[in-house]
């Protein structure tokens, strides 16, 4: 594993606050933490986009809206509208959940159309697009099919999980996704990344973003290790 600095690791974190009962005070604290620690993005539900954008307007931190979250079971038209609405409210990045039922039905044309339309809206608005697979529900073949569709559509990222499924990111899934898409698309590991060892394992496997609510804890773990080595 290559040496990584605190600043580099912080810049890979999508600091998440996606719980249903998040208060304005909690959102404000999450945004403050993002700015203070240099995290790449605050990951929130789309209804909270404008509030977080206002809080972060004078920082480099991106606001990331979760679309069709966490089940992915809304219509394509609904997801496209929610994407446009989030962008209008200031979203810099969009993380949307695929329609898992359609994938299970082998309706690959629908999955591709969904990805194409949402990614197109993001491109038109110069917003980063991320496609959430929710791998815990998928077979290896279904993961490969999704990667193949992504290679045709070219979103900015493909992502392992919502963090709300039966399980989250695994190193094996990150390896598979990275092997399938190479350098054409970036990979985000999300769900269950709660310590430094796991975060570094995901990065070593090919992840370029980490979605976690344990960002501060992980960064503090790295700081302790750097201090033990006598500084950076």
Concatenating the DSSP letter of every residue in 17-55 gives ---TT--HHHHHHHHHHHHHHT-SEEEEEGGGHHHHHHH
Copy the structure tokens of residue 71: 């089940």
Domain holding 38, by residue range, is: 6-226
Residue 231 lies in a domain: no
Residue 65 host element (H or E): strand 62-67
Share of the chain above pLDDT 70, in %: 98
211-224 pLDDT tens trace:
999 999 999 999 99
**pLDDT-based confidence at residue 229 (cuts at 50, 70, 90):** confident
Q: Using CA atoms, how far apart are residues 210 and 126, in angstroms rounded to an integer?
A: 21
Number of domains in the chain: 1
Helix (H) or strand (E) holding 157: strand 157-159
Crossing angle (nearest 10°) for helices 171-181 and 140-153: 40
In a domain, residue 203? The reply is: yes
Distance CA 90, CA 92 (A): 6
Chain segment 173-215, per-residue pLDDT in tens: 999 999 999 999 999 999 999 999 999 999 999 999 999 999 9
**What is the reported pTM?**
0.96
Mean pLDDT of the chain: 96
Decide if 159 is inside a domain. Answer: yes
Catalytic residue set: 95, 159, 188
Tell me the CA end-to-end span of the chain in Å, nearest whole number. Answer: 15
Contacts with 64 (C-beta within 8 Å, 6 or more apart), sequence order: 14, 41, 42, 43, 44, 91, 92, 93, 94, 95, 128, 130
Q: Fill in the DSSP letter of residue 212.
A: E
210 falls within a domain: yes
Q: Is the pLDDT reported for residue 232 higher than 70?
A: no
Residue 62: exposure state from Cβ atoms within 10 A (0-12, 13-18, ≥19): buried
- Residue 74 main-chain phi, psi, to 5 deg: -125, 165
Digit-coded pLDDT (tens) for 139-155: 999 999 999 999 999 99
**How many residues are there in the chain?**
232
- Look at residue 81 and tell me if it is in a domain: yes
- In this prediction, residue 231 carries a pLDDT of 53
| pLDDT at position 226 | 87
| pLDDT at residue 88, rounded to an integer | 98
**59 belongs to a structural domain:** yes
Q: How many CA atoms lie within 13 A of 51 on its CB side?
A: 17
- On whether residue 232 sits in a domain, the answer given is no
Query: Residue 40: phi, psi to the nearest 5?
Result: -70, -40
Q: How confident is the model at residue 228 (pLDDT cuts 50, 70, 90)?
A: confident
Q: Can you tell me which residue has the tokens 């695994």?
A: 170
- CATH code assigned at 200: 3.20.20.70
Query: Does any domain span residue 46?
Result: yes
pLDDT above 80 (res 1): no
Report, as an integer, the average pLDDT of 108-122.
Answer: 98
In DSSP terms, 41 is beta-bridged to 14, 62
Tokens of 221: 């773990």
């Amino acid at each position: 594993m290559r040496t990584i600095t605190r600043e580099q690791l912080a810049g890979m974190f999508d600091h998440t606050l996606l719980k249903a009962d998040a208060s304005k005070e909690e959102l404000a604290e999450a945004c403050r933490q993002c700015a203070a620690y240099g995290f790449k993005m605050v990951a929130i539900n789309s209804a909270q986009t404008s509030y977080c954008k206002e809080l972060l307007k004078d920082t480099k931190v991106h606001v990331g809206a979760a679309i069709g979250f966490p089940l992915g079971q809304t219509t394509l038209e609904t997801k496209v509208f929610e994407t446009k609405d989030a962008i209008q409210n200031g979203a810099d990045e969009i993380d949307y959940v695929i329609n898992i039922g359609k994938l299970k039905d082998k309706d690959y044309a629908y999955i591709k159309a969904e990805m194409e339309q949402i990614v197109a809206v993001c491109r038109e608005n110069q917003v980063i697009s991320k496609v959430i697979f929710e791998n815990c529900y998928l077979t290896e073949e279904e993961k490969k099919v999704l990667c193949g569709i992504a290679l045709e559509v070219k979103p900015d990222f493909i992502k392992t999980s919502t963090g709300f499924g039966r399980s989250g990111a695994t190193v094996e899934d990150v390896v598979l996704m990275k092997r399938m898409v190479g350098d054409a698309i970036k990979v985000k590991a999300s769900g269950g990344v709660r310590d430094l060892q796991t975060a570094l394992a995901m990065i070593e496997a090919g992840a370029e973003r980490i979605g976690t609510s344990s960002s501060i804890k992980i960064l503090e773990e790295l700081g302790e290790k750097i201090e033990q080595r006598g500084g950076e």
